[in-house]
Every structure is written in C-alpha cells, then in structure tokens.
Chains A and B, each alone.
Chain A
C-alpha cells in the first residue's frame, strides 16, 4: 500500500459490482483504489450465479433494480466486443407446466411490457416443443423472452477491473477494511494491508456490506440475509438437448429453478434459495443436488443418467427487503450499494453508472476529467462457441484436456495486471480443472505451473522421495 496516497474513491469489495464501479470511476478520471479482503476478485457472492444476462422483464416495475439491469444490459452489449466478452444468444422461455402456471403467464407478460421488454410473445405448447424438442411434452405453453442471453460470469468482472487497473486504478487483495474515520473531508481507512486515504467510500462489500457500515458508520442502513443457491452442471453432451434458457413460473411457494446452457458448453440447473446466517460457507448438499437433478430431468427427460460435471453453491447478498439498497451520504462521502440479490451480474454496469451519478450530485472539491483515450484490454475467450486458444497455433500445449486449456492460457492467468490469487481464481480465468474429470488428469501439472503463486495452493510442499 503506497503510504500517504490520497485516492478520490475507495471501492470496498471486488465482486462484480465493485469491479464495475472501479471501472466507471477510473474512466471518469478518478484516482481509484479497490480493496478486496479475498485473495482474488469474485471471492464472495459473485463467484456463483446462473450467468445470465437478463432483460429485466420480470424485475419490479419502476424500480432501481430494473433501471440498472436494463442500463447494464445495454452497456454490456456496447462494450463487450472491445473487451472480447462473449455472448451466447439463446433467448429464454418462461415455461408453464400446469394450468396455474399458464394463468400466471398473463401477469408476467404484462409486467414485461410494463418494463419496456416489448419483444416477448406467447408460445403454444406446439411452438414450445418445436423450439425445444427435448423438453418434456406436458408443457402448457410459454412466454418467449428473446433478449435473455448467456454470458461468462467471470470474464466480465475481470474485464471491468482489468480495464480500471490498466487505466491507473489500484487493486489491493487480502485487504479487509477493519476500521476508519472521516474528518469532514476525507476518509482514513484502516485495512489489513495498511491505511488508505480517500475522498469517497463506495461500499460494494456484498455479503459483508452491513458489517462494513457498522464498523465505519456506527450503524448499517440494511441487514444482509444471505441466501444460498446450489447448482448442478451437467456434462457437455447435455448441451445437445437444450438451446433456450428455461425459466420457471414463480409461484407463492418458490421462485423455481432455471435450466440453461452455460457459455462453456455445459447445461446448468439451479439455484435453490436457502436462507442462512453464515456469510462464509456455501456448502453443497447431496440430497438437494439430487433434487435439482430430478427437476432438470423432469424438464428434459433426456438428461436422465447424464454425468454431472460440477456442483457448486453461492450466497446471494439479499437484504431484509426485496430491493436494491443503494444510497448516498453526501455529508460523510459514502455511497452504499447493498442488497444486490441475484441480478448483480446484469446490473453491475448500470449500478456503476448510477453510483457515478450519485457521486456527481455531491458537492465536489474538483470536477473529474474523463479519460480521453482509455485502454481497452481484451479478455481470453473461454466461450465454447467462439474460437479458443487451443485452436490457435503455438499455444504451447494443452494442459487441461477436458476443457482444452493451454499452457499459454495458464501462464497468462498467473501474470498480467490482475494475476489469479487463488485456485478458484485460476480456474475461473482459464477453466483448468473445471471439466468432466475435475482435475484428475491436469491438476498435478496445474499445481506445478502455479507453484508459489496462489493462496491455499494445490500442493502443500515439494515431495522428497
């Protein structure tokens, strides 16, 4: 930590929202630092989600959430080619499986139109099956939402923060904010990596957002109620049975699970919604995973017996209310971005723009000068439907055979402006070990290639036999 540097903005939290906010302020000309307590970005809620780019068709009308989702959606499409971020254009169907579902489609369609998503249309059962022939035949019709798509949930935030860093921002890892004081014009933050001085704090601390406010402001404007979601990822062979995202019709009892392709060529089912107090542990549970598999098979019977490639769980930083908890305290130079429940991946860029406007509305010591020619870093493409590194010559060799990850990709992920900080970070940057064998073939080589580079490394020691 450079002693004495005064930053314009300190962003606390390196989830997708923090990464997008750091990018926005950097491009707007602010001296920006991002403080993350984990060893890498996406160490909390943002590492596990369903990886969809949402239109906001079913978001609360006239809410900040729908506004940020739709702004975020537009900006993602605007910038994705320059950052080399993928898009799998799938569309989604909200499928009715019974008469009650079918009746609810009317309200969902009305809400979509109210939210400005005008290209939705109703499909008859025959049209549903024509579009998705492997779907269970007992559907009662669907609402087609053509604009719902699949993206890479990890390369997007990595691109946002990489662009910030390549344009002058600082990103500090292992930096938990433990305290701080505001003297009327600037914040002196205490972190586990040393003190940080800043003119503004943006709380993007996700699952720990309320704790951060208690520590620094004495009280929190919201209370985080972690909600766990478990997921099952099927073998890539499953992708032959599904093109469109299959969304549930939510009812009073449950929001239901999504069945979708992933950008990496698999099929995903989840999430569950399980309230818990623990903010750190997102464990998977065999019985719940079996329930998810059964739900997937009920929707697409051909998935029966399909091998499971991966299972995971994440925590959504829901709050005690069903809305985003975004607020600005101009007196104390503090902006709070809390309660970003499950739409954060889509909304992040929109939230960042909203936060920048909240900041602009505060009294400024000096006006920010946006960067004239910012650097646009290009991400490694990991999407299955676009060209991967293994298909290009001179990639070194293939280390992970299941996901066809090259040595060149692994070396790149361990270097550069935002090198992988832990095993999860390396996997998310490369997909090494995320395929059907889950590291059986490649983990030893990945352990050797990443020796001395990662927190909680794959190998604990050299072997002297």
Chain B
C-alpha cells in the first residue's frame, strides 16, 4: 500500500522541541509570525530536561526552581498557549535546499515546505564505541541520557552497582539519579587530575561516600552477558579491578548532527554542529541553528536564551531586516582551541546578533586567550582555561572594519596543565 505524502506548509519549521526550539518558537509567535511548527520525533516535546528528575531548571525562564520534567511541561504548555503548532512522533529524515524537509510519521511520509528552518536537535553523550573503550562488549554500558530515560520514564533500573566515568555537570546529574533510584555507584573515575564540573558541585559524589579516582582511565570492560567488572589504570600506572554490574559513561557530548552531516549544509569539524554566522544562519541561509546542536554543551537555560535570540533573528529575516548572507570574516581555531561558534561573521551593523564567540579549549592552560587578525591582536585575556567550561569573547571586540575574506584566529597557547 502506498501512503499519500502529507504536506506541511509553515512559515518556520523548528526541528527539535527542546528548550532551544521551544524558546525560538515562542519568540517567533510573539513577533507575529503566523505559522510556527515544532517537529519532534519523540512522543512529547521538552527535550532532555524531561528525563532530569531533579532541580534546578527554569530560574530565569519561569522565575522559580523546577525539576527537569516540570520545566519541560512548562515549556510545552507555553508553546501550546502561544499557538505554536506541535507535531510529535514525526521524524525528519532529510534536509533539502531552500527550507524543505523530508519526514516520516506513523501515518506515512510528510513533506515540510517552510519559509525558514531552525535546527535545534540538541546533543547526546558519546557512546562506548565512539570512545573506543577496550574490552568485552556486555550489556550494561550506558550513558546518563539512557539512565535517566530508563529510570524516570520507563521506571526501570539498568544496573545496581555501576562505575561512573566522568565528572562533568551531567555526571553529577547522574549521581543524583542513581541516588534517587537506589542505585549505588561503586566509584567515579576521571581521566583528568581534577573534576570537570565547578566547585562546589564536584564535592557532591564524595559527600555521598562514593570513592573518587582521578587520573584514572578504563583499561578494559569485562563480562560475558552483563558487565562483571572493569579494570582501571590508576595515576601511577597500576591496574585495579572494580567489580560492578554496569558502566555509566557520562558527558563527552557531541551535537546530534545526524541530519546535517549528509546534507548540503556545511558541518564544522570543531563543534561537530553546523557552521553558522553571528545570526545563527547555516551555509544555506534558509536554515538557522540553535542550542546544543551548535556546540557541546550548555545548560538548558543557556539553550533557551540562545533559542530565543535565534528566533528573533529568524523573525528579522522574515521581515527582511537581517543583513544579507555574505561572509566577511572566517573565524579559525588556533592552538588548543577545540571549537568556536559562530564560525563566520556576516556584514556587521545589525545589533541583534549573538553577543559572543563561544569557545572551548582542548586542554587546561594558564595564559592568554587571543583573538587576532594577522599580527593585529583584537582581543586578549589572561587567565586559567579549563576544558568543557564556557569561554566567551565579545563579538563587539571583533567587529571593526575589515577587508572581505579576512580571518580571525583564536588561540589559547598558554602553558600546559597544572
């Protein structure tokens, strides 16, 4: 049987109904855009916060501290009240030039014809395979996202005594989820010599009595059916076996760019997401992107504000007030710079753009963070730079008059870790 293709015609199609996508939709509706449609492949909008059964969410957006699920519900409710059209259970399968999307829902294929598209598909944690972890491949090696979905939505326990790998902010969220579900982590291991998350949050596992091992890496996972143990390599090179029934891999987020990678849009190797200009425009300017698809990883609150800002720019673009899409400056990653967003600057003079370049570094350093155009230093700041921490350079510092086709190099070549 051949299903008829349904066509959705909309002013703005937003792929992904997490905080960034919903925030963009709310702004667009507030600016009077007629049809704003969120396309969500899951059964509910709300994104990752749906699974995070703990506070704090929504302090800026709703003026109070909410748990993740409550925050997600607030977002969904706000979108419905604002007249945003929400299509759940709809999977976008391809991005076509000129804001056209192929999609599939339970009833059959769907074609989306939009004025603009905002990509807001978020980020996910790196898998065991992508991390190239050695050893057997038993059941029980999962990420925080899976743990939280399993515990909070499906009401199931993936393990009882896991080893937690990583100390990012999400790792603490994982510890909180374990505690609530009665899961007793055996240990937390971290490859660096210090926790990735900021104090005092990094003290949290220790307060719960979970042993912490720094400068420790997984040497091997062991187990036939289910995980039985992991071997870890400690700072002094010695090996130690930890009996456990699971391995929880936390963090090391990567943008969910599965739609971008095979598409006509330019993907940035540094961020792993689509390359954008300061207005959030992709290499096909009928596409914009917002939220954690742009870079791993920011908080829900940051993604929400970023989505709102990009939504406003899409409204400007529909109104014809956005500067034309002409790249005047390319931002280049120099020493120790893992990613830069945006990667391009279009003609300046419009004040509504993103405020800052967002930077992440590869390794901890102390020294200058420099933005330079050839030998001319445009901006410089001295200090300590840590991986996975938010680092910002004000765009206003970079937007002097500049020849078209110019480049700005960002460098963080201070002295190494210590």
Query: Which A residues are closer than 8 A to B by beta carbons?
Result: 233, 235-237, 240, 280-286, 289-290, 305, 307-313, 390-398, 401-402, 404, 422-423, 436-441, 443-445, 447-448, 451, 455-465
Contact = CB atoms under 8 A, between A and B. Distances in A.
A438 B129 contact: yes
Contacts of A395: 106
Interface in B155-194: 155-160, 180-182
Given A283-B134, A285-B134, A305-B269, A460 B129 contact: no
A310 B157 contact: no
B403 interface: no
A459 B220 CA distance: 22
Given A393-B107, A438-B130, A283 B135 contact: yes
Contacts, number: 150
Interface string B213-226: 00000001000111
B408 to A, nearest CB: 23
A441 B124 contact: yes
Nearest to A402: B258
Q: Which 3 A-B pairs have the closest CB atoms?
A: A456-B225, A438-B127, A444-B149
A465 B258 contact: no
Given A391-B109, A394-B107, A465-B180, A445 B129 contact: no
B182 A443 contact: no
A173 to B, nearest CB: 14
A286 B217 CA distance: 12
A458 to B, nearest CB: 6
Contacts of B127: 436-440
A461 B107 contact: no
B146 A440 contact: yes
A462 B157 contact: yes
B159 A401 contact: no
Interface residues of B, number: 55
Interface string B59-81: 00000000000000000000000
23 contacts: A235-B261, A280-B224, A281-B136, A283-B137, A284-B133, A284-B134, A284-B137, A285-B134, A307-B130, A309-B129, A396-B106, A398-B41, A398-B89, A438-B127, A438-B130, A443-B150, A444-B146, A444-B153, A456-B139, A462-B157, A463-B151, A463-B157, A465-B151
A392 B181 CA distance: 39
B84 to A, nearest CB: 22
Contact of A462 (B107, B136, B155): B155
A451 B124 CA distance: 25
B222 to A, nearest CB: 8
Given A460-B245, A463-B157, 6 more contacts: A313-B137, A390-B91, A444-B146, A458-B139, A459-B150, A459-B154
Identify which of A240, A280, A393 gathers the most chain B CB atoms within 10 Å of its CB.
A393
A393 B149 contact: no
B381 to A, nearest CB: 30
Contacts of A459: 150, 154, 156-158
B262 A240 contact: yes
Identify which of B128, B129, B130 gathers the most chain A CB atoms within 10 Å of its CB.
B129
A443 B142 contact: yes
Contacts of B151: 463, 465
A440 B132 contact: no
A237 B260 CA distance: 10
Nearest to B43: A397
Contact of B129 (A237, A308, A447, A456): A308
Interface string B355-388: 0000000000000000000000000000000000
Contacts of B411: none
Contact of A465 (B89, B93, B142, B182): B182
Contacts of A282: 136
A447 B153 CA distance: 11
B132 A398 contact: no
A247 to B, nearest CB: 25
B391 to A, nearest CB: 23
Nearest to B1: A393
Contacts of B153: 444
Contact of B132 (A240, A311, A423): A311
B158 A447 contact: yes
A288 to B, nearest CB: 9
Identify which of A236, A395, A458 gathers the most chain B CB atoms within 10 Å of its CB.
A458
A422 B225 contact: yes
A447 B156 contact: yes
Nearest to B130: A308
B154 A455 contact: no
A69 to B, nearest CB: 29
Identify which of B93, B154, B261 gathers the most chain A CB atoms within 10 Å of its CB.
B154
B158 A393 contact: no
A440 B146 CA distance: 5
Contact of A404 (B93, B138, B146): B93
Contacts of A280: 224
Contacts of A310: 129
Identify which of A290, A396, A402, A463 gathers the most chain B CB atoms within 10 Å of its CB.
A463
Given A440-B125, A441-B145, A459-B157, A465 B132 contact: no
